[in-house]
Amino acid sequence: MWLRRLLRLVALSAGFAGIGAGAYASRAHWLPLLEKNASPPSAESGEESSAPAGKVIVNEQAQLNLGLTAKVLSATTYWKTIQVPGMVVDRPGLSDRGVVAPAAGVVSRVHHFPGDSVRSGDPLFTLKLMSETLHQTQSDLFKTTQDIKLAQAERSRLAALTDTVAGVEIIKVDQQITRLQIAHKATRLELLNRGFTPRLVDGVAEGTFVNEITVPTPLAAGELAVSSPAGTPALQGILEVQELKVDPGQQVQAGQTLCFIANHQKLAVEGRAFRDETPLLEKSVRERWPVDVDFQEDAAAEWGDVKQAFRIRTLSNTIDQVNRTFAFLMPLENESRAIDDEGRTQTLWRFRPGQKCRLLVRVERIDNVFVLPADAVAREGADAFIFSQNVNTFERRPVRVLLQSRDQVVLANDGSVPPGTFVVQSGATQLNRMVKAGGSSAVPKGYHIHADGSLHKNEDEGK
């Protein structure tokens, strides 16, 4: 029995040995086929390979369709902010003021209209005088001037005499001249305060009475404001007629507002905050932190970036009883463009009172973090991912989100993604879907994958 089993084993061994010898003898025919099927991805079989797990391969055309861009990841400082609504407003005491009638009269001519740009000293209105007091003042000035001339002539005559009586009379005449000169100075000053120019006052003193006066634009700082009503501050910069309050032929009284002159060169940004935000704003004032202002401008306007730094200068100590908010102000230097249309100059301002804006008030500083656009992070439940780029290969990297706003996301620099990595700035959600679905993972024809997962073109492609 055992002899039969031994013979069977010997026969099977001999058969396997024969098959092995035959296979070895014909290895030149079947070995190339086996190596071809078992070889790694190459130029002939690259389209059947796939990227490693957690990665996705996106060709150049697909990257353009998705708008994918990558930047080097670097640690920076992020400012935590609160968003506050704001508005461009006139700066109190500097932006606008009214021009009033210096005397009672009738508006006979309007020289400039709303929207016109004017310079200091340009005529605004011509008034036909209807004030009896002003006419009487002109008569008094003329009479005083003539009396001074007569008194001076009398003194000259008495000075030619040598007796004692003449000396006493000279003293009386000198006293009379002094009184007349005081009255002359007072009446002259009154006419100047009513809008008369020095040239007009000189004419009145010689008997040329004035029936019409011109109301000029307030003079700029540094000029002799003799033609402006006393006690009115001068305006600087580009002036513009903002609103007319009278019409030609209308009778006006002394002190009545004729128009409003706007100086939009110096404006302010007014923010409105709630009571519970007071400590945050007070901290910003103490630390002198700048405020980011988003004017929500259209790029087509081509004004360029705002080069001014904004800081809270005035913090209101009262709360509005209606909306329960308090105001804070920041100075704003405006920009302008001048347009000349057939001799009429109009100034176009970049910022206008009433313009809405968005204020980002800094309240906390966070150092050594990564700041990326909000579209650079993909969410999946409690997990968050960004994508690093290596040529055409995009790898998903888990990250920890510290803060997220509408436009930006702040990531912790905890070593999960080292600085210097090229990180995709947008389209993270689409890339994450492709990774989960396994789409676009096949290696394109003519390419191969390196050990680091990057996609490269075959060197012999096209030969």
Residue 377 backbone phi and psi in degrees, to 5: -120, 135
Q: How far apart are CA 428 and CA 401, in angstroms?
A: 14
Considering 236-245, 277-286, 298-307, 341-350, the range whose residues carry the highest mean pLDDT is: 277-286
Token readout for 125 is 């209105």
Task: Mark 127-139 as b/e (b = at least 16 C-beta within 10 Å).
Answer: bebebeebeebbe
Residue 188 backbone phi and psi in degrees, to 5: -65, -45
Is pLDDT at 366 greater than 70 in this prediction? yes
**10 Å Cβ neighbour count for 26?**
10
Stretch 373-387: mean pLDDT: 90
SS3 assignment, position 222: coil
Cα–Cα distances in angstroms (integers) from residue 445 to residues 66, 166, 320, 411, 424, in the given order: 21, 128, 70, 37, 25
Is pLDDT at 341 greater than 90 in this prediction? no
Q: How far apart are CA 375 and CA 429, in angstroms?
A: 7
Between 2.40.50.660, 3.40.50.2300, 2.40.30.170, 3.40.50.410, what CATH number should domain 82-91+265-362 receive? 2.40.30.170
pLDDT-derived band at 330 (thresholds 50, 70, 90) equals: very high
Stretch 101-129: mean pLDDT: 87
| pLDDT in the model for residue 10 | 61
Per-residue pLDDT tens over the stretch 227-237? 334 444 444 45
pLDDT above 70 covers a percentage of the chain that reads 77
Tokens 């001076």: give the residue: 152
| pLDDT in the model for residue 357 | 93
Q: How far apart are CA 254 and CA 252, in angstroms?
A: 7
* CATH code, residues 55-81+365-457: 2.40.420.20
Q: Which of 308, 320, 260, 233 has the alpha carbon at shortest distance from 100?
A: 260
Pairing between β-strand 336-341 and β-strand 314-315 as defined by DSSP bridges: unpaired
408 close to 79: Cβ distance less than 8 angstroms: no
Is pLDDT at 379 greater than 70 in this prediction? yes
SS3 assignment, position 206: coil
Domain limits, the chain: 2-38, 55-81+365-457, 82-91+265-362, 96-262
| pLDDT in the model for residue 213 | 84
Helix (H) / strand (E) element for 203: namely helix 198-205
Is pLDDT at 82 greater than 60 in this prediction? yes
DSSP 257-324: EEEEEE-TTEEEEEEEEEGGGHHHHHHHHHHT--EEEE----GGG--------B---EE-SS--TTT-
Per-residue pLDDT tens over the stretch 192-238? 887 788 888 888 888 888 888 888 887 644 343 333 344 444 444 57
**10 Å Cβ neighbour count for 385?**
20
Cα–Cα distances in angstroms (integers) from residue 253 to residues 105, 128, 131, 135, in the given order: 7, 12, 9, 15
| Residues paired with 271 in a beta bridge | 86, 328
Question: Mean pLDDT over all residues of the chain?
Answer: 80
Can you list the positions of beta strands (E) in 55-181?
55-57, 70-72, 76-90, 96-100, 105-110, 117-118, 123-129
Is pLDDT at 338 greater than 90 in this prediction? no
Q: Which of 233, 323, 313 has the alpha carbon at shortest distance from 274?
A: 323
Higher pLDDT pick, 78 / 452: 78
Per-residue pLDDT tens over the stretch 409-455? 999 998 888 998 899 988 888 888 888 877 544 555 555 555 555 55
DSSP 394-407: EEEEEE-EEEE-SS
pLDDT-derived band at 462 (thresholds 50, 70, 90) equals: very low
pTM of the model: 0.61
